[in-house]
Amino acid sequence: NGTPTAGRRTNNEPLQRFTEAKKHMGIIYNDLESYVNDLFTFYKELGDTSKLVPQQQMDEVRRFQESIRTIKEMFGRDKMKVVFFGRTSNGKSTVINAMLHSKILPQGMGHTTSCFLQVEGGSENEKSFIVEGSDRKRPISELEKIGDALSLSGGDDPRLTNSAIHDTLVSIFYPKSSSKLLQNEVVLVDSPGVDLKPEYDTWIDKHCLDADLFVLVCNSESTLTQAEKSFFSRVSKKLSKPNVFILNNRWDASAGDAQAEKVRKQHEKRFQEFLEELNVCKKEEEAKKRIFFISAREVLEKRLRLSQAYQLDGWAIREQNFNEFERNFEQCISRSAIRTKFEAHEHRARDILRDMRENVENVSQLALREKQRLELDFKLKHKEFQDCRNNFIRLEESFFNERRKVREEVHLKVSADFYE
Ligand code: GDP
């Protein structure tokens, strides 16, 4: 529209579109809910006084109310979800921390993520986590220990097997205000390394079917492994056209290497082919917008403003690449989430409106037929009444005549008697 703010572009804009779409969806469904509630009250009153509303139509309105309630709850929970995959120690946790501008996830050679760690926006000052299957919120300071604790004890559920532990979801809540992503309802999920040879299908079914985007974090010092390839092949089989970004992390290792450009081109070509195989995109230019050569460690340390931030030759280009990845990521995730999550709700709202119109039309047809019947009934009754009235008038007339006659006779008789 033409308002002065409408044309203003901010860095936040693509992500905000999702929150705005959610707000609009809320308005649509609130309106719809009040129409349905009004209709229900109207039908109920009508039903009580005239029995004009058939049970079928009444039940349907109750079903509309339930569907609207369920959908409202559903999109109230909807968030944009990105899942990070890759081999252990490729830097998945470091990438997530860099994107969140905070060291939230444990990272380091000693630590390997042994379960799914999901970071989402919580209330102000909230820094806690919950292990799947438990309601207990724990302080985030205990997170470092959770990997070991889960592997040793099976978490809060002693029956958990090793592979079930890798499936376990740990939800971390961090203040929304701490990052643009958390503020705009992005949920970031870190996964155990794909080299752990998990049950890929179970992982995908449990954690990926509602994902809007996947980020494959690779180690630019080595080539794509079979484990990484197999995992994403399964993803693309289950989700027909997955949204995938590829990060060649640890690209700082190439600093000062005369062969770096050649290696970069080789990686790029291989990854383009891989994205085509996965049916993510078809054109080379599209693929280029999804492949980045970065150093998450450099970006994180710079963003944490560490005085001795780790920065090797060429860090500015790697940083630029990371920023570009984030820009493309934001656009892509909000577009995909709006399409996959809200399009269905919007169609459902239209369906409910259409069914509601049909429902009202059915009841009003019935009411019209009833009105015609009553009018006919009235006409018949009216005719009966008219006939009755005419008969009565006739009767009355004959009665008066009779009475007059009798009176005259009596009068004659009385006067005759009198004068006799
Ligand atoms: P994950 O197992 O994939 O989550 O890997 P982490 O994020 O825990 O990282 C493993 C180790 O690699 C940590 O010590 C990180 O500091 C280090 N690391 C991560 N990213 C980079 C990077 O871009 N360059 C370098 N040199 N080290 C990195």
The alpha-helical segments, DSSP class H, found in 154-259 are 162-167, 180-183, 200-203, 226-238
Do the beta carbons of residue 291 and residue 268 sit within 8 Å? Answer: yes
Report the Cα 290 to chain-centroid distance in Å. Answer: 25
Asked if residue 240 has pLDDT above 90, the reply is no
Distance 206 CA to ligand 1 centre (A): 26
Band (pLDDT 50/70/90 cuts) for residue 37 is: very high
Atom of ligand 1 nearest to the CA of 310: 26
Atom of ligand 1 nearest to the CA of 107: 8
Distance 107 CA to ligand 1 centre (A): 7
Residue 82 identity: V
Please work out whether the CB of residue 416 comes within 6 Å of at least one atom of ligand 1.
no
Band (pLDDT 50/70/90 cuts) for residue 164 is: low
Q: How far apart are the first and last CA of the chain?
A: 114
Atom of ligand 1 nearest to the CA of 112: 2
Determine which of 61-70, 150-159, 251-260 has the lowest per-residue pLDDT on average. 150-159
Distance 295 CA to ligand 1 centre (A): 9
pTM score, two decimals? 0.80
Distance 88 CA to ligand 1 centre (A): 9
Asked if residue 344 has pLDDT above 90, the reply is no
Identify which of 170, 121, 122 has the alpha carbon closest to the alpha carbon of residue 146.
Answer: 170
Please work out whether the CB of residue 96 comes within 6 Å of at least one atom of ligand 1.
no
For range 110-123, the mean pLDDT: 80
pLDDT at 409: 85
DSSP string, 278-315: TTS-SSHHHHHTTEEE--HHHHHHHHTT-TT----TTH
pLDDT at 7: 41
How is residue 286 written in tokens?
Answer: 């599209």
Identify which of 89, 250, 118, 112 has the alpha carbon closest to the alpha carbon of residue 181.
Answer: 118
CA gap 33, 71 in Å, rounded:
11
ipTM score of complex = 0.99
Asked if residue 158 has pLDDT above 50, the reply is no
- Name the pairing type of β-strands 128-131 and 138-139: antiparallel
Name the strands in the sheet holding 291-293, side by side, starting at the edge strand that comes first in the sequence: 138-139, 128-131, 169-175, 116-122, 186-190, 80-85, 213-219, 244-249, 291-293
Please work out whether the CB of residue 128 comes within 6 Å of at least one atom of ligand 1.
no
Determine which of 85-89, 283-287, 337-341 has the lowest per-residue pLDDT on average. 283-287
Band (pLDDT 50/70/90 cuts) for residue 25 is: very high
Asked if residue 359 has pLDDT above 50, the reply is yes
* Nearest CA residue ID for atom 14, ligand 1: 108
Please work out whether the CB of residue 216 comes within 6 Å of at least one atom of ligand 1.
no
- Name the pairing type of β-strands 80-85 and 186-190: parallel
Residue 54 identity: P
Band (pLDDT 50/70/90 cuts) for residue 110 is: very low
Report the Cα 354 to chain-centroid distance in Å. Answer: 22
Give the number of other CB atoms < 10 A from CB of residue 116.
20
* Nearest CA residue ID for atom 7, ligand 1: 91
Long-range Cβ contacts of 316-322 (<8 Å, 24+ apart): 318/251, 318/252, 318/293, 318/294, 321/251, 321/292, 321/293, 321/294, 322/98, 322/292, 322/294, 322/295, 322/296
Burial class (CB in 10 A: 0-12, 13-18, 19+), 34: exposed
Please work out whether the CB of residue 359 comes within 6 Å of at least one atom of ligand 1.
no
Burial class (CB in 10 A: 0-12, 13-18, 19+), 302: middle
* Mutational pocket test of ligand 1: of 218, 295, 297, 304, the residue with most ligand atoms within 8 Å of the beta carbon: 297
* Mutational pocket test of ligand 1: of 92, 107, 248, 313, the residue with most ligand atoms within 8 Å of the beta carbon: 107
Q: Which residue has the higher pLDDT, 158 or 205?
A: 205
Residue 177 identity: S
- Give the C-alpha distances (Å, rounded to integers) separating 76 from 19, 79, 135, 187, 335: 11, 8, 21, 14, 18
Mean pLDDT across the chain, nearest whole number? 86
Element containing residue 239 per DSSP (H, E): none
Q: Which residue has the higher pLDDT, 154 or 266?
A: 266
Report the Cα 222 to chain-centroid distance in Å. Answer: 38
DSSP 184: T
Please work out whether the CB of residue 219 comes within 6 Å of at least one atom of ligand 1.
no
* Nearest CA residue ID for atom 24, ligand 1: 250
Distance 109 CA to ligand 1 centre (A): 7
For range 383-410, the mean pLDDT: 88
Distance 90 CA to ligand 1 centre (A): 6
* Nearest CA residue ID for atom 6, ligand 1: 91
Please work out whether the CB of residue 250 comes within 6 Å of at least one atom of ligand 1.
yes
Distance 412 CA to ligand 1 centre (A): 136
How is residue 391 written in tokens?
Answer: 């008969």
Identify which of 201, 209, 120 has the alpha carbon closest to the alpha carbon of residue 167.
Answer: 201
Band (pLDDT 50/70/90 cuts) for residue 155 is: very low
Asked if residue 149 has pLDDT above 70, the reply is no
Percent of the chain beyond pLDDT 90?
A: 50
Please work out whether the CB of residue 93 comes within 6 Å of at least one atom of ligand 1.
yes
Task: Kindly report, residue by residue over 170-219, the tens digit of the pLDDT.
Answer: 999 999 999 999 999 999 999 988 877 667 888 888 898 889 999 999 99
CA gap 41, 164 in Å, rounded:
50
Band (pLDDT 50/70/90 cuts) for residue 10 is: very low
